[in-house]
Amino acid sequence: MYEVKGKTAIVTGGGTGIGKAVTLMLAERGANVVVNYSRSESDALATLAEVKKLGADGMVCQANVAKDADARRMFQETMAKFGRVDIVVNNAGTTDHVAMEDLEGLKEEYWDNVWDTNVKGHFFVIRACAEELKKNKGCVVNVCSISGITGRGSSMAYCASKAAAISVTKSFAHVLAPDVRVNAVLPGVVMTRWVGDKPEFARKLSAGTPLGRPAEAGDIGDAVLGLITGGTFVTGQALIVDGGYTIINGNNIR
């Protein structure tokens, strides 16, 4: 068992959805939590208030993980506040919704947008924290997506970015071994604000799966926490957390 009490975790995109669920789970167990945000300051501050109610310590940090300088500044601010970094959860992500068949609609800037955040962002944050994570025998969990293995999702660029993020996970598992464990979780449909105005569509997608429902943020948080606290002999792995969707639908995700 990996004990998180007294350790410091950075959770990117930690103020909403999956990131918020992970943040509060870590706080419940006594970790200091850095709630990162890019634009959603009010959400990050509200989440920090919940962290404090749980008796844990924390801070908010505005940083665009797609920018190397921001990732390095976030690390430095975390060190100034807590003096250590033990856990990184790369949850920040983005997409532009473009139908898979709409090849002309997938603009170059959409590729740049998802690649910068979903791939380079993971790399920048881990690189900034790497030596400290090694010193503390820490761990990393990257929140990816089943789109990275099915090739279906909100856009072709998004799918490619998530496949690349899985590859980055495996590469870091090699590079930071044996001191740091690096894993990924691959959610399917999750009932967060990403679903937007299509909750019924999300439920329909999951209706025929073994568990019969879409995930809630806490379901993914449970998997992230499990890899942190219970996965002491697990590294370089991509854990699918989709209620069995992929074993029923294979590559037909839409």
The pLDDT assigned to 203 comes to 66
The pLDDT assigned to 250 comes to 59
The pLDDT assigned to 173 comes to 98
Chain centroid offset of residue 223 CA: 11
CATH of residue 62: 3.40.50.720
- In Å, the largest CA–CA distance within the chain is 51
Q: Rounded CA gap, 32 and 209, in Å?
A: 37
Is residue 15 helix, strand or coil? coil
Q: Rounded CA gap, 82 and 97, in Å?
A: 38
| Catalytic (active-site) positions | 158
pTM score: 0.93
Domain of 55 in residue numbering reads as 8-249
Would you say 243 and 210 are in contact if contact means Cβ atoms under 8 Å apart?
Answer: yes
In this predicted model, what pLDDT tens digit does every residue of 105-114 receive, in sequence order?
Answer: 989 999 999 9
The pLDDT assigned to 30 comes to 98
Look at residue 178 and tell me if it is in a domain. yes
The pLDDT assigned to 108 comes to 95
Look at residue 254 and tell me if it is in a domain. no
Query: How many structural domains does the chain have?
Result: 1
Residues of the chain predicted below pLDDT 50: 251-254
Look at residue 16 and tell me if it is in a domain. yes
Q: Rounded CA gap, 150 and 163, in Å?
A: 9
The pLDDT assigned to 189 comes to 86
DSSP 116: I
Look at residue 3 and tell me if it is in a domain. no
The pLDDT assigned to 42 comes to 97
Is residue 131 helix, strand or coil? helix
Look at residue 112 and tell me if it is in a domain. yes
Would you say 157 and 116 are in contact if contact means Cβ atoms under 8 Å apart?
Answer: no
The pLDDT assigned to 251 comes to 46
The pLDDT assigned to 207 comes to 76
Q: Which pair of tokens denotes residue 159?
A: 């799918």
Q: Rounded CA gap, 186 and 163, in Å?
A: 10
